[in-house]
Amino acid sequence: MFSINVSPRFGDIDGLGHVNNTVLPVWFEIGRNPIFRLFSPDLDLSPDVWHLILVRIEFDFLSQMYFRSDVEIRTYITKIGNSSFTVGHEAWQEGELKVRGQAVLVYYDFKLQKSIPLPESIREILKAHMFPSMDSSSSDAETGTDSPCSI
């Protein structure tokens, strides 16, 4: 698992006084940087080196986050497929899980414009950072039933 701390900026706060939902995609992307470095240690974005493309992101907002208290972003691998992998994210503030999410990245050939299999060497490195998947069946996001949300 990778972990970074983020200090909410004044501009991250919305009119209701809490961290705005538009901030989490940015924080979770920052949390993915150590995973990006597994593929390209110096973060070289040239098409001959960079082979990752984001195809899906999702978030479950469990509770509000506020200014003046750092947020810990935890990042880990939850699933490895043939050409894709899923990254789990969590945002913690004051010891409480506030937001969880996931992102699906595909190993992609930008010249051929198609996905390609993950190299075995990368698969092994990703396996070292695996954690259990978020269990979306434990709460119904559409109806909010069984949701731990305190908003």
Instruction: With respect to residue 141, please indicate whether it lies within any of the assigned structural domains.
Output: no
* 24-39 vs 120-127: helix crossing angle, rounded to 10: 130
Instruction: With respect to residue 151, please indicate whether it lies within any of the assigned structural domains.
Output: no
For 106, the domain range is 2-133
pTM more than 0.75: yes
Instruction: With respect to residue 139, please indicate whether it lies within any of the assigned structural domains.
Output: no
Cα 39 from Cα 91, distance rounded (Å): 24
Instruction: With respect to residue 93, please indicate whether it lies within any of the assigned structural domains.
Output: yes
Which has the higher per-residue pLDDT, 133 or 25?
25
Reduced to 3 states, what is the DSSP secondary structure of residue 11?
Answer: helix
What lies within 8 Å, CB to CB, of 150 at 6+ separation is: 62, 63, 64
Cα 102 from Cα 85, distance rounded (Å): 10
pLDDT digits (tens, 9 = 90+) for 48-82: 889 999 999 999 999 999 998 999 999 999 999 99
Q: Output the 3-class SS for 83-116.
A: CEEEEEEEEEECCEEEEEEEEEEEEEECCCCEEC
Instruction: With respect to residue 145, please indicate whether it lies within any of the assigned structural domains.
Output: no
Cα 79 from Cα 126, distance rounded (Å): 9
Q: Could you tell me the CATH number of the domain that includes residue 59?
A: 3.10.129.10
Instruction: With respect to residue 124, please indicate whether it lies within any of the assigned structural domains.
Output: yes
Instruction: With respect to residue 72, please indicate whether it lies within any of the assigned structural domains.
Output: yes
Question: Is the Cβ–Cβ distance between 63 and 71 less than 8 Å?
Answer: no
Instruction: With respect to residue 138, please indicate whether it lies within any of the assigned structural domains.
Output: no
Q: What pLDDT is attached to residue 131?
A: 87
pLDDT digits (tens, 9 = 90+) for 5-47: 999 999 999 999 999 999 999 999 999 999 999 998 888 888 8
Domain count within the chain:
1
